[in-house]
Amino acid sequence: MTKLFERRLAPADSPLAVAGTTTLALFAAMAVAAIFFRYYGVSPIQAYFGLFHEPFATLHGFGYALVRAAPLALVALGTIVSWRSGFYYLGFEGCFVMGAAAAGWLSLSTAPGARLGPLPFALFLPLAVLFSWTVGGLWAGLVAFVRVRLGGNEVLISLMSNYVARLFLQYLVSGPLRAPGSQPETTLLPRGTWLPFLFPGTRGHAGILVAVVAALFVWATLQKLPLGYELIVTGFNPAAARYAGIEVGRRMMLAGFFAGGLGALAGMAEALGSQHRLMDGISGNMGFVGIIVALLSRLNPLATVPVALVYGGMAVGADAMQRRASIPSSITFILESLAILLVLASDILRFYRLNFSVLGRFKWRVSRSQDPA
């Protein structure tokens, strides 16, 4: 008996099958979100148009999209480095916060009369990059150390470490770095330490350039350097890597250091480029969303910046929709997360083949039963 859906022994892995199931999943997610748009009395087509018009057809909106994209791309790059090395780190919220704290602290110490005093920006920026990279790198590297030397589970440890980092920043902004006033936050960072804006009149800042440089750096390291090859082999098959003479443990710790550093740069970009001060909750979940961006980029470093731009752009479009048509921006959370879940789930479709012959037989039977003779 042939069935309409017949189970295959191996998944269909032709590019057509992958593209087909992925497209189907994306359309399914858009259809579900469309139901919610209809509830708010907006035509889904208009809604989807609006979602992309603001960030990609107006300069102002594009600037905001760049602001959102830069940290997401940096976190995504960190995810790629660590996950491809077999180190399933989930602590980017923590790295983000530690990087932001490091950059913010350094920036505050260059205020007139503070510890360091004013520095030229050309000197301050490398210092800030170095300092937040080191802090974030050690933060994640410590987890890698625990994984490699003591055998602790990095997924669980890194999830817990996010809270420690968050509470640490909460302590800083409500204690030693707190500005006089009612809110637990620092004073505005000195203007001389802000990342420069790219286009006059928009909020887009140089953080996106940092992300682009980092993407090229990660791509070149992973694809062109022996070190990257060793990292990828470590992630692919640690036993084989060890047999080939690669020091798996050290490579994994290095991956942790790199990943944490990239995550910290995301925090630095947010603090110096967008918020211009430190406060509790500065990461705004970007440490997790960045992981999603990495997955959507299929762990390809060059894809992170465009994917982050689309992702960040949709957030900007959603905010604009909420302001103008009072459609809650939470619908885009549904759209984005459902798209990812269904793309993941669509893999199961590749285990089935459609037997159109079943449909043909069905039609034939129907037509014969209608025939009185």
Partner 1 sequence: MNGHSIVVSAFLVAWVSASLRLAGPVLVAALGETFAEQSGILNVGIEGTILLGALASFLASHRTGMVWTSLLVATLVGVAANLFLAWMYVSVRASQVITGLVFNVLALGLATTVYRLALGHSAAPESIAVFQPLRVPVIARIPFVGPVISQPAPFYLTLLLAVVSQVVLYRTDFGLALRATGENPAAADSAGISVERMRYLGTLLSGAGAGMAGGYLVLAQVGLFRETIVAGQGFIALAIVIFGRWNPLKATLAALVFGACDALQLSLQIFGTRVPPQLLLALPYLVTILAISGLFGNRAVPPAALMKPYVKD
Nearer to partner 1, 161 or 193 (CB): 161
Residue owning tokens 């989930």: 90
Binding residue (CB under 8 A) for partner 1 from 65, 70, 75, 90: 90
Determine, following the binding rule CB under 8 A, whether residue 131 of this chain makes contact with partner 1.
Answer: no
Binding residue (CB under 8 A) for partner 1 from 246, 254, 279, 338: 338
- Residue 358 structure tokens: 């079943």
Least Å distance, CB 9 to partner 1, is: 13
The site map against partner 1 for 178-207 (x = CB under 8 A) is ------------------------------
Nearer to partner 1, 208 or 327 (CB): 327
Binding residue (CB under 8 A) for partner 1 from 52, 217, 288, 352: 288
Binding residue (CB under 8 A) for partner 1 from 31, 167, 220, 302: 167
Distance CA 205, CA 209 (A): 8
Cα Rg of the chain (Å, integer): 24
Nearer to partner 1, 229 or 288 (CB): 288
Nearest 5 degrees, angle CA 127-CA 129-CA 131? Answer: 65
Determine the size of the site formed for partner 1 (CB under 8 A).
46
Determine, following the binding rule CB under 8 A, whether residue 322 of this chain makes contact with partner 1.
Answer: no
Residue 354 Ramachandran class (φ > 0 left, ψ -120 to 50 alpha, else beta): beta
Sign of CA dihedral 312, 318, 319, 321: positive
Nearest 5 degrees, angle CA 343-CA 42-CA 296? Answer: 20
95-109 CB burial, b ≥16 within 10 A, e <16: bbbbbbbbbbbbbbe
Residues of span 63-82 touching partner 1 by CB under 8 A: none
Distance CA 234, CA 289 (A): 26
Q: Which stretch binds partner 1 (CB under 8 A): 60-68, 116-124, 344-352, 362-370?
A: 344-352
Least Å distance, CB 335 to partner 1, is: 8
Asked if 203 and 197 touch (Cβ cutoff 8 Å), the reply is yes
Nearer to partner 1, 147 or 205 (CB): 147
Binding residue (CB under 8 A) for partner 1 from 160, 213, 240, 359: 160
Binding residue (CB under 8 A) for partner 1 from 9, 122, 150, 373: 150
Consecutive H or E run containing 55: helix 44-57
Determine, following the binding rule CB under 8 A, whether residue 333 of this chain makes contact with partner 1.
Answer: yes
Residues of span 19-58 touching partner 1 by CB under 8 A: 36, 39
Residue owning tokens 């887009």: 204
Asked if 76 and 263 touch (Cβ cutoff 8 Å), the reply is no
Query: What are residue 204's phi and psi, to 5 degrees?
Result: -60, 125
Residues constituting the chain: 373
Residues of this chain that bind partner 1 (CB under 8 A): 36, 39, 88, 90, 146, 150-153, 155-157, 159-164, 167-168, 170-171, 174-175, 285, 288-289, 291-292, 295, 328, 330-338, 340-341, 344-345, 347-348
